[in-house]
Every structure is written in C-alpha cells, then in structure tokens.
Chain A
C-alpha cells in the first residue's frame, strides 16, 4: 500500500446533492471517512441518511457533487471497488425460497470469493447460523434473517461496510449480539464502517465519529464525546433531540451572543 493510499479517505463525499421530484433529499453533504473508522449517520426519518448511503453504494446517482469509495468515483467507476465493499439494509431482502447456504453461496460467487464453501462455513460458525444453513431463508425469524443478511454483507470480507439500520426491529439481546459481531469484525479486518441508525446507544457504542443529518444537511459532526460536551448532555439521544428540535442552533446562537457581549 502506498503512502497516498494510506492517507486518502476510504469514503469521501464532496458537496453531495440529491434532488428528487418531491424535493431535496440531500443538500450539500461533505465528509471524509478515514480507512478503519466507524462512523454513525444519525437523523430522523427523511433526514437523507438512506439516500446518502445509496449514493455511496452507487445505487443512486447524485444530482451534483461527488462521492468516492476507495478512490473510485461512484457510480461511474463502481465496478473497480464493488468486490471490496458490501452492505446490509432492512429494505432489501434475500430470496426467501432459497436456503441460507444457497443464498450465501450465490452471493459469494457474485463477489468473486475463493473457497466459498469454507467461507460460508466460517461465517455460519461466527454468526451462529450452522443449524440454519439448509433452511429456506423465508422460514427464519426476523433476528435470524438479520444474521443471514449480515453474513451476506461479510461474505467478501469487505474493506468498506455500509449498514442501514442493522438492528432495526430486533429484540435488545439479538441487537446487542449483532453489535458485538460488528465490533469484532472491525477489530479483525480494520474495515471502514458507515452505519445509519436511529439507535443512539448503538451509535455511541460502535462509532468513533457521529454525523447528524437533518433535512438533507449535516447539522453536526464530531466524536460522541465531543458532541456530548458541545451540547452539555449525558447521552447521544439527548443530543439528537436537541438537534431535531433546533436547540443546537439556539444554543449556538446563545453562545455567539454571549461571546459578542
């Protein structure tokens, strides 16, 4: 790896804009995520998180601005890097009639994984899927399906992992179990993870940086500790509510007024 490759960010968005017929979904978003970092994308419904992730994946074309993943401009140069990235989203499912083994094998082949049988067996062991491998995916519980989706997201040992609400609709125990696996994966692989979530505890636990979005714009950005200090709060949920209700702007305005006086 060259020095330039080490320094250049794994994901870089520059003045990213997405305008749909119904309005602006993402409005001038810029950020750079270093390789090996875990970043949380926070925001209420309609904040632009999913659209931002979809543009990073190359599924949605930006109206303006650029997004680069591992140095490749998305979506134009996506085929240079798609084998090195993967994603999980509750809005996407895997064929329900296929067994877990069949699904993982097909995706392994699509991602060019060598030794696919061994990789499926390894992931099944790590994600507690061994007993489920030969069951149709459609017969699994929500928690089991999420574990299978995570196995699919890790099938190619991606350097960049995009997760859109990875623990949505899971019971606390299963959600905690998934978080533990993600922490382990990051530690072992040194992967760059971008995580969109509504779960503040999850973001606080997993992420070393948090980007808060509102109405398509970045409202705030920093480490969880820095955000807590900035808003004078004890947890990210309170910070999120402050941002969602505009208290962040009010607090900033107060601080500016005080400084001016």
Chain B
C-alpha cells in the first residue's frame, strides 16, 4: 500500500506501507532477540499494579468512602501505565536507533519522517500490549478488577491516552534528534510531569484553583476524571472524552509540527550524523 502525492511535490508526505512494515519488522526482530527486554515490559507495570492494589485493599477495609471507590486505584494505575508506557514504547524504539548509531542509515534511506513516526506508534502499541495484557489478567486474579469489563469506555480512555502518549513521544523524539543522547533523560521522565497535574490518583477538585486551570488543559485529566465518574458514580462522561479528544488533536498537531521543526533544525546543525552526547 502506498499513498502518493502530485508530480511537483517533494515526496515528503508519500506513505508506503512496505517501508513502515520494514521498520516495524526491524523493531520486532530486536524485541524478540532479547528476553530481558520482553521481561522489562511486564515487570514494572505488574509491580505497580500489585502495590496499589494491595494498598487499596487495605485502605478500603478501614475507610468507608474509599471502599465505595473500589477499584479506582487499580484502574488509575492501569490507565496511567497506558499513558506512560505508550510514550515510553514510542521513545525507546526511537532511542534504539540512536543507541545503535543507525539513525543516519534511516535518515539517508527513502523512509519518510511520517512513516518513521507511524512505525514508532505501531511499536508503542505492540510494546504496551506485551506489558499490559498480562498485568490486566493479574489484576483480575488478585483483586477481581476487570479493566476489560469497562468495554466501550475503555476504548475511549485508551484512544485518548495513546494520542497524548504519541504526541509527547513525537516531540521528545524531535528534541533527541536535535540535541542527541544528552537529552535522553527527558524521554524517561517527561511524562511524570503529567502525574500530579493530570490528577491520576485524585480528583481535580483537590488542586488549588489556579492549578486546576492548568490541569484542565491536559487531555489525560479528562480521562482520569472520566474513569472516576464511571467507577464511583457509574456514569460514562462522553463530554469529558470529547474534550480530551479535541485537546489531543491540538497536542498531536503541535507535537508533529515541533518534531518537523526540530528535524529541520537537526539538518541545519548537522546533528543527524553526530547523535552522541
């Protein structure tokens, strides 16, 4: 499959399914060549979920209000992992190219930036699935919490969280292209900025009013509020999901524009050849 543009174009936006598949194949080879890489995808989400799950079990036995909010901690942990692991899955695949000094090979090949980004998005879903599916099954086994039971709501949460994860991942990749591996830490830590602001474990109302304004600018805030509405009040807030989607589209467009600008800057600065620190 390929999408072509007109004769006069530079071909920058032509998309070839074959090139995307080739890059996905490359990451798949890499992933399956190393069992520690595979184990790492499951290990930390499982530890997190178990820790929060047992904490919730303990607190709900001593506090009536929290007992009523049964499952919100585990739900928050699992949704947070979609957001965090989604971005990390995207960024780590990109970092693999820098670690292996392969980036110039790709940039010199006919692979378009948009195809590169699509391949990274596919890999973030693959990596996330490998990590999260076993953990959701563990949540059912240990705490009787069935994330899949959220049905259509889970699909809405997932789409919105992945869009945020990709937007942030794309922008971070641009910074890595422009600044080299010196900016690597950003790939690992940038999403933690969202942890307090997107109100993963508590309602937005807990924040001071001025911080609430900032929180409502972040798409994941709507998802976590929506999750609590569903689990505590048993109401699916479609309005929150619509807001999240709108903000995500803006964030995704911003991330893509930022990535292309940083790629252009990297070409000007010559950092595509020198991707070290």
What residues of chain A lie closer than 8 Å to B62, measured between beta carbons? none
Chain A CB within 8 A of B14 CB: yes
A82 and B273 within 8 A (CB): no
Instruction: State whether B101 touches A93 (Cβ < 8 A).
Output: yes
Do A97 and B33 touch across chains, with their CB atoms under 8 A apart? yes
Query: Can you name 13 extra interface pairs (CB under 8 A) apart from A58-B108, A79-B10, A106-B23?
Result: A54-B272, A59-B108, A61-B264, A77-B11, A79-B14, A91-B273, A92-B103, A94-B102, A95-B100, A96-B100, A98-B30, A106-B26, A107-B105
B33 surroundings in chain A (CB, below 8 A): 97-98, 136
Within 8 Å CB of B12, what residues of A? Answer: 79
Q: What chain A residues lie within 8 Å of B272 (beta carbons)?
A: 54, 59-60
Residues in A whose Cβ lies below 8 Å from that of B237: none
Least Cβ distance of A173 to chain B in Å? 26
> Is B109 an interface position by the 8 A CB rule?
yes
Query: Cβ of B273 and Cβ of A75 under 8 Å apart?
Result: no
- Which B residues are within 8 Å of any A CB, using their own CB? 10-12, 14, 16, 18-19, 21-23, 25-26, 29-30, 33-34, 96, 100-112, 264, 267-270, 272-273
With A59-B267, A97-B34: A110-B109 Cβ-Cβ less than 8 Å: yes
A57 to B21, CA, bound (A): 24
Cα distance A48–B102 when bound, in Å? 22
Q: Could you write out 21 A-B pairs with CB less than 8 Å apart? A: A18-B270, A20-B269, A20-B270, A59-B107, A59-B267, A59-B272, A61-B267, A79-B11, A82-B110, A95-B26, A95-B100, A96-B100, A97-B29, A97-B34, A98-B29, A106-B23, A107-B105, A109-B18, A110-B110, A111-B109, A111-B110
How far is the CB of B149 from the nearest CB of chain A, in Å? 39
Instruction: Contact check, A60 vs B105: say whether CB atoms are below 8 A apart.
Output: no
| Residue A39 at the chain B interface, CB threshold 8 Å | no
A58-B108, A60-B267 in contact; A98/B26 too (CB < 8 A)? Answer: yes
Q: Using an 8 Å CB-CB cutoff, how does the interface string of A81-124 with B read, 1 for contact, 0 for none?
A: 01100110101111111110010011101111000000000000
The answer, among A21, A50, A79, for a CB contact under 8 Å with B112, is A79
Residues in chain A within 8 A of chain B (CB atoms): 18, 20-21, 25, 50-51, 54, 57-61, 75-80, 82-83, 86-87, 89, 91-99, 102, 105-107, 109-112, 136, 152
Name which residue of chain B comes closest to A54, CB basis: B273
Roughly how many angstroms separate A61 CA and B112 CA in the complex, as a whole number? Answer: 17
**Chain A positions within 8 Å of B22 at CB level:** 105-106, 109-110
Closest 10 pairs between A and B when the two form their complex, measured CB to CB: A79-B11, A109-B22, A93-B101, A61-B267, A82-B110, A92-B104, A106-B26, A110-B109, A95-B100, A60-B270
Interface of chain B: mostly helix, strand, loop or mixed: helix
Tell me the smallest distance from the CB of B169 to a CB of chain A, in Å. 20
- Nearest to B109 among chain A residues (CB) is A110
Distance of A54 Cα from B45 Cα, bound (Å): 42
When C-beta atoms are compared, the residue in chain B nearest to A79 turns out to be: B11
Given the known A-B contacts A54-B270, A89-B104, A109-B18, are A95 and B23 also in contact in the complex, defined by CB atoms under 8 Å?
no
B124 CB to closest chain A CB (Å) equals 18
Distance, CA A92 to CA B109, complexed state (A) = 13
Q: A112 to B18, Cβ gap below 8 A?
A: yes
Chain A residues with CB under 8 Å of B29's CB are 97-99, 102, 106
Residue of A nearest to B32 (CB): A97
- What is the distance, in angstroms, from A215's C-beta to the closest C-beta of chain B? 17
Contacts of B264 in A (CB 8 A): 61
The CA-CA distance from A5 to B257 in the complex, in Å, is 37
Residue of A nearest to B264 (CB): A61
Instruction: Compute how far the CA of A119 lies from the CA of B21 in the bound complex, rounded to whole angstroms.
Output: 19
Which partner residue on chain B sits nearest A152 by CB separation? Answer: B105
Within the complex, which residue of B19, B30, B107, B108 is in contact with A95, where a contact is CB–CB below 8 Å? B30
Residues of chain B within 8 A (CB-CB) of A57 are 108
Within the complex, the shortest CB–CB distance from B51 to chain A, in Å, comes to: 32
Known A54-B273, A97-B33, A112-B18; judge A59-B110 contact (CB<8 A). no
Cβ contact within 8 Å between A106 and B25: yes
Q: Which residue of A lies closest to B265 (CB)?
A: A61
State the Cβ distance, A160 to closest chain B Cβ, in Å: 12
- Which chain B residue lies CB-closest to A110? B109
The residue of chain B having its C-beta at the shortest distance from the C-beta of A75 within the complex is B267
B102: nearest chain-A partner, CB-CB:
A95
List chain B residues, Cβ under 8 A from A102: 25-26, 29
How near does chain A come to B251, taking the closest CB pair, in angstroms? 28
Query: Which residues on B sit within 8 Å (CB–CB) of A80?
Result: 10-11
Closest residue of chain B to A51, judged by CB? Answer: B270
The answer to whether A92 and B267 touch across the interface, beta carbons within 8 angstroms, is no
- Complex: how many Å from CA A98 to CA B26? 8
Given the complex of chains A and B, what is the CA–CA distance between A152 and B19 in angstroms?
16
Question: In the complex, A50 Cα to B272 Cα: how many Å?
Answer: 12
